[in-house]
Amino acid sequence: MKKISCFSYKGGAGRSTLALNVVPFLVDELDASPEHPLILVDMDVDSCGITYFLKLEDAPDIDHYSVQAMFGVNGYIPQEDDEDIPLTEHVLFKHLCKVGKWFNVEDGSVLCLPAEPGAAMGGATNYDGRDNFVKEFLEVCKEYEVSGVLFDSAVGDQLTAVWSNRLSDVILCCMRPTKQFREGTQRFFDKFDDRIARDKQIIVIPNVVPTEGLTLLDGEESHRYPEYAKDAIKKSFEDNVQRNTNHYHMDMMEGELFGVPKIDRFMWQEGVLTTAGHLTETERVALDRYKTIAKLICNI
Ligand SMILES: Nc1ncnc2c1ncn2[C@@H]1O[C@H](COP(=O)(O)OP(=O)(O)O)[C@@H](O)[C@H]1O
Ligand SMILES: [Mg+2]
């Protein structure tokens, strides 16, 4: 079972957009189905992007079955007869929202645990021990042969971001190509406990969102970046690779930068590209990047 965290050190770096757009390719790679669903968990409880994009803010029972309700101070407590209960009846699953239709796959192939907009974590400022609920959730997922769990993480050191990163095998680290972003991300990973990081795969994804004038394209177009942005990305790549070549991946051949190009459509209609109908050339490139990321997640 793949455990993936969509992380960034600051907000607005394209985590939710990446999470949603990589889903169709993950479904493919992981062979997700209603029997072995892919589960999306909206861990960004302060600004719940995928809950918003998938229009789950008004989901029935969201106040009882949200990330806050499951993992907050009065969260789910494992029961002894848990394993005797069929998947569809288990309290942790019964109320997950079927969201496959957004991705043109069978509805039950992708399930989502939304976050309740505006609901706090129940004052859980000390997270030690609280992540047991998430661990338990993952245990149950494993028992039921879920194909993967994708956390749309919060930013930086926030409670649920720590959980998502700590409990995932793969961290998709989105960043905008700015100096502050590069340094902050670097500092974040420097603090990362090596024992926790050792077995993790960290994929650095410099997104261009939504910075005007920075367009990540290949080859001859790459001269359009300001030099500082190129340097920032290059430095983050080098620093990361120096730390541990096994754990960081970012294609950066001569004249090519790995990232998701800027898509005009996202500026006015946020959501899932694969279901958006006719695609422009740039959108096709972006989709290809999302597909590559799904392959990196699954093959390494
Ligand atoms: N490749 C892209 N091109 C253009 N806009 C994008 C792209 N990816 C994301 N965006 C836009 O950038 C904004 C922030 O993205 P979002 O995924 O919500 O970031 P985060 O979850 O990190 O806060 C959104 O308005 C989104 O539509
Ligand atoms: Mg988000």
Number of alpha carbons in the 13 Å side-chain half-sphere of residue 137 = 32
Chain-centroid distance of CA 106 in Å reads: 21
Ligand 1 atom closest to residue 207's alpha carbon, by position in its atom list = 1
The residue extents of the domains of the chain are 2-299
What is 2-299's CATH topology? Answer: Rossmann fold (3.40.50)
d(Cα 93, Cα 97) in Å, to the nearest integer? 9
- 211 C-beta neighbours (distance < 10 Å), count: 14
Tokens of 131: 């992540």
Question: Counting ligands in written order, which one lies closest to the CA of residue 11?
Answer: 1
- Ligand 1 geometric centre to CA of 260 (Å): 10
Ligand 1 pocket residue status of 209, Cβ below 6 Å: yes
Q: How many CB atoms lie within 10 A of CB 296?
A: 18
Residues 6+ apart with CB under 8 A from 258: 205, 206, 250, 251, 252, 289
Distance CA 218, CA 164 (A): 32
Helix (H/G/I), strand (E/B), else coil: 7: strand
Could you tell me if the CB of 14 is within 6 A of ligand 1? yes
Contact 258, 250 (CB under 8 A): yes
Ligand 2 (single-atom ion) residues, CB below 5 Å: 15-16, 49
| Nearest atom of ligand 1 to the alpha carbon of 20 | 17
Asked whether the CA dihedral 201, 297, 263, 223 is positive or negative, the reply is positive
267 ligand 1 Cβ < 6 A: yes
Tens of pLDDT along the chain (300 residues)?
999 999 999 998 899 999 999 999 999 999 999 999 999 999 999 899 999 999 999 988 888 889 988 888 777 666 666 667 776 677 777 789 999 999 999 999 999 999 999 888 766 556 666 777 888 889 889 988 999 999 999 998 888 998 999 899 988 888 876 667 777 887 787 777 666 666 788 887 877 654 444 444 444 444 444 555 556 556 655 554 444 433 444 433 233 345 777 787 887 778 898 877 788 988 888 898 899 889 888 975
